[in-house]
Structure 1
Amino acid sequence: MLHPKSGHDERVVMSPMPELPNVVFDEASDAADPNLSLITTDPPAVLPYQPNPQATTTQSQAARARESIPTACLACRSKHLKCDGARPCARCRASGSDCAFVASRRGYKGPKRGGGGGARGASQQKHHPNKRRATSPLSQDGSSSTDFFAAVAPAPAPSVTQPGVAMCLASKGRGGGGSSQSPSSSGPVTPGSSTSVSQTFRVLGAGDTDGSTWDMSPQDRSVSTKSSSLSLAERCFESFYFHFHAAHPFVLPKDFMVRFLHDPSLEPLLSAMRWVGSLFIDVPAARNSLFDEAWQRVHEPQNARDGFLVQAMMVLIVGMDGVTLNERARELLLEVEKLAVEIALNTRPFAMFHGRGVPVLEESWRRTWWDLLVIDGMIAGVHRMTTFALYDTPTDVALPCEEHEFLSGAIPPPRYLEDLEDQEFLDDSAPPFSSFAYRILCARNLGKLMRTPPITDPADDNLVRVETLLTNWRLHLPPSKRNPLDGHTGRVDEMLFQAHMMLHATSIILHQPHSQLDSSPAANITSCAPHQAVKANARPAFNPHTRHTIEAATAISRLVTLPVPSLTTHTHFFTCVLTLSSIVHLSKWALHFVQYDDDDLRQLLRLNVGALSELARVWPAADRSRGQVRGVASEVYKAKKSVQAGPQFWFGLTREQVMSSIAADDGIIEDVSSS
């Protein structure tokens, strides 16, 4: 058609309609976030063709755009070499290197504001129902003008959803071969190595995925497609939730987190989650870059000093402590403690003011404060290098609910710490507190021990007072909470597991200095805490403190026998508690005058060393502890053999007793060395 004034041909060249996945749109769920409303159909639904008057790209331009390489793999990027974009690329195939891709942020300017204004904007939204909407501005109290959740409970699990929330199948083995890989602590993050939320979590069918169906059932966590369709960032995101989240459950549950992915304030948290998730899967070449990216993002000056930044730091602290970056983890712990108090995370109104009217987000903020207190206590207890500063910080934050309530979003009315500490005076008909609440009480009991003046006399009233706290914790547990194994589901309650773990560790710290178990044979076990000398009592009979110490160490070893898919699903702090238990077992083995069941002690040491070997598949700290325990066991064995060389050692024993004792010692050292 000729323009009436210029006479030029004003013909508009329309771009071809892009191929759409076989989907329909659920308008009800689209109100919350259109990117979460895709569901499969069989047979495929046909969407009407809607011409876009703004499209001016020719077919050849579109083809060239499709042929361009959006990013280079990490190996090529680090060497500044051209990458062909194949998965794996030609260079990595030739060199046998791991080929990992992280989406680039180059040119990314954040999520686009959609639709324009007035009728024209409304028309465009109608024609493009899968277009991402911009985040609504926050009000003065931190809430959003847009209700992100249409209901309290998560939306029904779609059979096709964002690939970033698909369960990761890329892990090779339970530990992913990450036992010896420690993240780099130096070097800047290259501009192309960062991963934006909008690029990482694409709508299925619009990226490089194959359109397969994902089963989002939280019970079996199964998938029905190839793991190769997931990018590195997506695999790490899934790995974080599958392997780590249950041990420190303060980040939003995955079904809710995916609705916040377009919020730019989550970038530091997502970066930290990706790095920790990478520790559990077989991507050793990418871990250094992911750690550098997470560290840099957490420390960017423009970051909002909010609860999401606190969560990002907490995720990093736990991961860094597990990969033996202990000093940097402690420095970051000091930073996050100051930030938490600065933003008033320790106060009751914080959850309401910053919860955006969403109960599950309010619960996440409450859990963030309490899990930070537990992490602070665990680091202080197992490393004995910090002071548990948050124990003295005043707080009136409500207690967390049960885990299944948090995961479903059905948050009950909150309860408070003063009720928990006075629970023996409550009505018997009152419902039990959550497992998380009893975990908090154990952390506070550890804090009370750490605030106790030095105890030099075994009859000190302070020692009796702390033991009374530990005994009362056990006595006042509801019947349903007395075993970490849930009697209804048959699964381990991770919060109760950690509570019992802290209880027994506190008992060892309290009683071991006054026991008859000389710790000097284990002086070289310093992987978790410096050696603390114990003045052993020379009397041949066990005193009560020795009995308390041995029983607590035995109970820790028994925790290993609880049925879990992998010990790596427990908090990594279990490593140091196992090490503490092993020191007790080795001290007992080193005794020459005590009669004990050699086979029982042999099995307990085997449990501990075997558990450390399992944890070492992910956590280098566990590998270091295992090596030291093995070394001390070898020294104890040599010392016992030296003492047994004298004929007076066997005086009064029969030949059978002598042979049995020698065989038991040989069996213990063989088992420990081979685990």
Structure 2
Amino acid sequence: MTTFGQHGHSITSDSIAAAIDTPLPSSGPTYILADKLPVSTLTDSRRQTRPEAILDSEHVVNLYYSNFHPAHPILLPRHMYGQNYPSYLRLVVQFIGSHYSASQSGDPLRIQTATALKDSSERTAFMVQARLLFAIAVHARGEPNEGLAMLQDAIELAISLGMNAKSFSSSNGGSIPCLEESFRRTWWELFVVEGIMSAIHRRSMMKTTTVASEVLLPCEDSTYTDGACFSDSPTLAQFAERHFAEEEVSFSSSCYRIEAVQILSRVLSIANAEAHPDEVQAIDNSLAAWTHYVPPEKRDLISNSGEVDELLFQAHMVIHWATILLHMPRSELLSVHPTADIFCAKGDKQMPSTDTKHAHASKATDASKELSNLAAFRCPVQKHTPFFICALVIASVVQLAACTLHNCRCMYQHKDRITLVVGLLKSLSLNWACAGSVLVKIKKIAAKVLKSEHCTMTVASTQCDSCTDSGLGTSIGAEDVPWLEFFDDPTIMSFDRFAPGLLFPDEGS
């Protein structure tokens, strides 16, 4: 088996400091890596008045790298991180890291960080990174519109700088392989995050797909973490050609994540629009085929040491999410789907079925089961991307719809999955406010569905011989669904009850 990247290059913190603090030669735009004053040049009195001084910066930076970085690994590895990053990027790192702290709050940094990121004079790749990371964080805090706007700013700046060009990283990375890799990862992270946010907001077009993506694909995370980056990273075309290659080639987990979002973007293009049956089937074929092209050594998401491959985890998450978005609007599940918007699970309009509605329902329900299977992994949930919250929500909505359609014999299967999702949302709400919001909604809906008078759980009912969760042979209308009434309740449809830092409102109110 061939592996891309046989030659590595090491890097030291001194060399990265020199690259950031030294203007680039004329080979590229000098404003990308402009001189930055380290925070140590500030007077003690001035530092004491800055919000970042409130935090134990070393502690929250460690929390950022331990919990958030594995899911969105675009910044330099921890041992290369230092005061040489511009202050606004360090503010973002501290702001995000504070969400994993039990003793420190990032709320004092929220306004200042957002203000710093509005500086239009900072047209740098570091500003792109800062805005991208901040967009993810504010979305997870329950500010989806602010997160989307910040992401769009990051994408527009990246395109104007030419970060989508193959030459950008080499021209602006100071001949430092890890810094070049960081810039390459940033462009692809913009693509991935825009795809996921587009799914959440049901946007059919992605800005990052309107320009040519010539950037080389990211290397394996373990290689990047060690500070040894490959000089022969593959292109997107080389990755796509593997389907028909004579020899199986090993690619990084990031590559499969990127491909998953490519398929997701195709789903979004027809998510709420009538499409020819052949087009729907072609996209469904891509979704089904994706798993078969994950190499054997990457089939197990958990290593021998018990660590989860977070980027491959996200790739599977995106594929199952995209499957739901493709099939649920074309199934009878939509008849019992909430008609009002719920965070991360906006209501879709019914689409003409291109297959039997039962087939569409079966595929959507199976995908929701796979998402709940990801949730069953025994690993620290805070290390998953905050976007996993939205994946859990869409999985629970499908399970609740299927539960309403299904017979009583299989109620326990749905209940177990929804119980698992609720548990994960409860744990994730300790870090991200949006999980606390959807937790209240899902619990209230589940309590109504699972305590339905027409279906009582017994030992006998949990021992069915056959249970497919597909809702086959059922027909139900919205008037038969006991939980839709919750979505007319403004107290559970609004984020107003979830001010930053308030994770658990009074559920009894």
Shared topology, TM-score over 0.5? Answer: yes
Tell me, yes or no, if structure 1 residue 515 matches structure 2 residue 331: yes
For 2:289, the equivalent position in structure 1 comes to 472
Letter in 2 for 1:493: D
For 2:91, the equivalent position in structure 1 comes to 271
Structure 1 residue 466: deviation in Å? 0.4
Alpha-carbon separation, structure 1, partners of 2:20 and 2:270: 53
Alpha-carbon separation, structure 1, partners of 2:409 and 2:366: 13
Alpha-carbon separation, structure 2, partners of 1:453 and 1:237: 39
Structure 1 residue 420: deviation in Å? 1.3
Alpha-carbon separation, structure 2, partners of 1:498 and 1:293: 31
1:489–1:427: structure 2 CA closer, same or farther, 3 Å change rule?
A: farther
Could you list the per-position Cα deviations for residues 482-541 of structure 1 after superposition, in whole angstroms to 9, with x for gaps in the alignment? Answer: 23223x44321001000000000000011112223245354456122422255899xxx9
Alpha-carbon separation, structure 2, partners of 1:350 and 1:553: 40
Structure 1 residue 463: deviation in Å? 1.0
Structure 1 residue 142: deviation in Å? 5.2
Tell me, yes or no, if structure 1 residue 194 matches structure 2 residue 50: yes
Q: How many residues align?
A: 440
2:135 to 317, 323, 329: 317
SS at 1:236's partner residue? helix
Letter in 1 for 2:217: L
1:354–1:388: structure 2 CA closer, same or farther, 3 Å change rule?
A: same
Structure 1 residue 327: deviation in Å? 1.4
Tell me, yes or no, if structure 1 residue 558 matches structure 2 residue 379: no
- Preserved CA contact (<8 Å) 1:455 1:463: no
1:274–1:498: structure 2 CA closer, same or farther, 3 Å change rule?
A: same
Letter in 2 for 1:270: R
Tell me, yes or no, if structure 1 residue 586 matches structure 2 residue 396: no
- Preserved CA contact (<8 Å) 1:346 1:394: yes
1:611–1:302: structure 2 CA closer, same or farther, 3 Å change rule?
A: same
For 2:423, the equivalent position in structure 1 comes to 610
Could you list the per-position Cα deviations for residues 295-346 of structure 1 after superposition, in whole angstroms to 9, with x for gaps in the alignment? Answer: 122223442x111110000110000000011111111122111100000000
Letter in 2 for 1:365: F
Structure 1 residue 134: deviation in Å? 11
Alpha-carbon RMSD? 3.5
Tell me, yes or no, if structure 1 residue 504 matches structure 2 residue 323: no
SS at 1:422's partner residue? helix
1:575 to 376, 385, 389: 389
Alpha-carbon separation, structure 1, partners of 2:147 and 2:185: 20
- Preserved CA contact (<8 Å) 1:269 1:309: yes
1:633–1:519: structure 2 CA closer, same or farther, 3 Å change rule?
A: farther
Indicate the structure whose relative CO is greater, using CA pairs within 8 Å and at least 6 residues apart.
2
SS at 1:583's partner residue? helix
Structure 1 residue 35: deviation in Å? 13
Alpha-carbon separation, structure 2, partners of 1:136 and 1:392: 33
SS at 2:71's partner residue? coil
For 2:188, the equivalent position in structure 1 comes to 370
- Preserved CA contact (<8 Å) 1:525 1:628: no
Structure 1 residue 453: deviation in Å? 7.4
Alpha-carbon separation, structure 1, partners of 2:394 and 2:146: 23
Alpha-carbon separation, structure 1, partners of 2:61 and 2:154: 23
- Preserved CA contact (<8 Å) 2:332 2:361: yes
Structure 1 residue 424: deviation in Å? 1.4
Structure 1 residue 271: deviation in Å? 0.7
1:534–1:660: structure 2 CA closer, same or farther, 3 Å change rule?
A: farther
Could you list the per-position Cα deviations for residues 411-446 of structure 1 after superposition, in whole angstroms to 9, with x for gaps in the alignment? Answer: 12110101111211223253x111000000000101
Structure 1 residue 550: deviation in Å? 1.2
Could you list the per-position Cα deviations for residues 60-101 of structure 1 after superposition, in whole angstroms to 9, with x for gaps in the alignment? Answer: xxxxxxxxxxxxxxxxxxxxxxxxxxxxxxxxxxxxxxxxxx
After TM superposition, list the pairs within 5 Å mapping 1:296-311 onto structure 2: 296-303=115-122, 305-311=123-129
For 2:33, the equivalent position in structure 1 comes to none
Structure 1 residue 659: deviation in Å? 11
1:656–1:350: structure 2 CA closer, same or farther, 3 Å change rule?
A: closer
After TM superposition, list the pairs within 5 Å mapping 1:48-447 onto structure 2: 135-141=21-27, 192-194=48-50, 232-258=56-82, 261-262=83-84, 266-284=86-104, 286-303=105-122, 305-385=123-203, 387-412=205-230, 413-430=232-249, 432-447=250-265
Query: Which segments of 5 or more consecutive residues in structure 1 lack a partner in the other structure?
Result: 1-28, 37-131, 145-163, 165-189, 201-229, 645-649, 662-668
For 1:52, the equivalent position in structure 2 comes to none
Structure 1 residue 448: deviation in Å? 1.3
1:504–1:452: structure 2 CA closer, same or farther, 3 Å change rule?
A: same
Tell me, yes or no, if structure 1 residue 494 matches structure 2 residue 318: no
Give the stretch that moved more between structures: 467-476 or 133-142: 133-142
Alpha-carbon separation, structure 2, partners of 1:520 and 1:546: 12
SS at 1:508's partner residue? helix
The structure with more helix, counted as a fraction of residues: 2
Larger radius of gyration: 1
Letter in 2 for 1:626: L
Alpha-carbon separation, structure 1, partners of 2:75 and 2:51: 19
- Preserved CA contact (<8 Å) 2:332 2:357: yes
1:500–1:557: structure 2 CA closer, same or farther, 3 Å change rule?
A: same
Could you list the per-position Cα deviations for residues 2-57 of structure 1 after superposition, in whole angstroms to 9, with x for gaps in the alignment? Answer: xxxxxxxxxxxxxxxxxxxxxxxxxxx9x974999xxxxxxxxxxxxxxxxxxxxx
- Preserved CA contact (<8 Å) 2:204 2:270: no
